[in-house]
Amino acid sequence: MEKPYEEDEDELRRRRRRMRRRQEIRRRRRRQMLIRRMIKVGIAAAVIGIVLLMIKMIWGKINPDRGTVSGLGQKFAAEAQNSILAASLSNEGAINPEGNGQGEGGLGQQQTYRYEAAEETLALGEDITSSYALFVDTEEDTILASKDAFTRMVPASMTKVLTALVAAEHIDNWDDTFTITIDITDYSFKNHCSNAGFDRDEKVTIRDLMYGTILPSGADASLGLAIYVAGSQEAFVELMNEKLEELGLSETSHFTNCVGIYEADHYTTAYDMAVMMEAAIQNEVCREVFSTRIYTTSATEQHPEGIELSNWFVRRIEDKETGGIPVYGKTGYVDESGSCAVSFGTNANGRTYICVTANSGSKWWCINDHAKLYQELTKES
């Protein structure tokens, strides 16, 4: 009777060792990223210093009576110093374990997303059906309401928000094509995934894959994007987790697939999901796709008239009273997550909000939770 207990203890020790190894790998990666950024800042500072020295020497030869840099040189020097300071502050935000930053994207800039609670932050309870929730005013970076927002949860197909963002940051030619393989259709079938409806051997555009990922939450489209970008889903997932690290979320979120199927090591929080959504909305391609209600794919041999894709969340929440705010977003469902959704809304004055809910009993209850929060928490805007 002692042997099973001893085996459990051995397994527990092995798990602890694996966890320590993963933590050490994450710490090494963060140190490496910091070193690379410091090297870049150092090189930039050295180049600027050389340029300023050359300007000073040239100006001194032209006008011996003035050994200092002229007005233009002074302005250039001030701007250079400000740039170095900004870069340093950006790096500090990137390695802050409590911060949430958007890493270097298409413009190579660090954007920080961090939401703070206030005295008037509402603690949600049974007034909404979802077990996890967060409602954020992104203009003020203020949490207006929350419910277990920092507790680990299952993201289901909300995962595809990050899938779309990572894909958008790595794709230049949206008119390029990709052929759907039997491995993709088999993966989707075996895991009982929702699909855009592409057939085996169908050649579709990358743009169609992007819309197919978000509007109908198509696993076939998501896998197509992943393989097109990185060669395999496994390699693409590495890019996703790198993006989580750039956003400052690697301690509380980790993804193992680009589709959203349940796996033990595939998790996030409502707070982290809001950060991912805001980062995605800053991407022009993602913003357009998330706000689209109906889209028809390009004509193919298998679908001569294309496939009509519909974002049911956007269309159905429009039937609800949301305080006059148009809302668009991404839903999800697996048994372990319940019905969940992350949405983005903006009012007539341009004020923006993000809402995340998870583990609701039905898709309609999930929609009602979003509509209720938009209606009640945006009255003063």
Closest CA to 360 of 350, 372, 351: 372
pLDDT (0 to 100) of residue 50: 77
User: Any idea what DSSP says for residue 176?
Assistant: -
* 3 state DSSP class of 350: coil
The CATH-assigned architecture of domain 122-377 is: 3-Layer(aba) Sandwich (3.40)
Prediction pTM value: 0.71
pLDDT (0 to 100) of residue 22: 62
Q: Which residues pair with 132 in a beta bridge?
A: 358
pLDDT (0 to 100) of residue 193: 92
Closest CA to 149 of 355, 330, 346: 355
Provide φ and ψ at 279, rounded to 5°: -60, -40
pLDDT mean by block of 10 residues, the chain; 381 residues: 53 65 65 72 74 63 41 40 37 34 36 81 92 94 95 96 97 96 95 94 97 96 97 97 95 96 96 96 94 94 96 78 79 91 88 94 90 84 56
Provide φ and ψ at 304, rounded to 5°: -60, -30
Print burial letters for 189-203: b (CB count within 10 Å at least 16), e (below 16): eeeebbbbbbeeebe
Q: Which two tokens stand for residue 130?
A: 């979802």
Helices (H), ranges, the chain: 3-62, 71-95, 159-170, 182-190, 206-214, 219-230, 233-246, 270-281, 284-291, 312-317, 363-377
Residue 116 burial (CB count, 10 A): 10
Locate the domains of the chain by residue range.
Answer: 3-95, 122-377
Say if CB 100 and CB 247 are below 8 A apart: yes
pLDDT (0 to 100) of residue 358: 95
> Cα separation of 285 and 327, whole Å?
17
pLDDT (0 to 100) of residue 313: 81
Pairing, β 294-296 against β 352-360: unpaired
> Cα separation of 157 and 174, whole Å?
23
Can you tell me which residue has the tokens 């390699």?
235
pLDDT (0 to 100) of residue 206: 97
pLDDT (0 to 100) of residue 259: 96
Residues 163, 164, 169: CA angle, nearest 5 degrees: 100
Pairing, β 352-360 against β 338-346: antiparallel
pLDDT (0 to 100) of residue 79: 43
Closest CA to 38 of 90, 99, 82: 90
Residues 46, 49, 50: CA angle, nearest 5 degrees: 90
* 3 state DSSP class of 156: helix
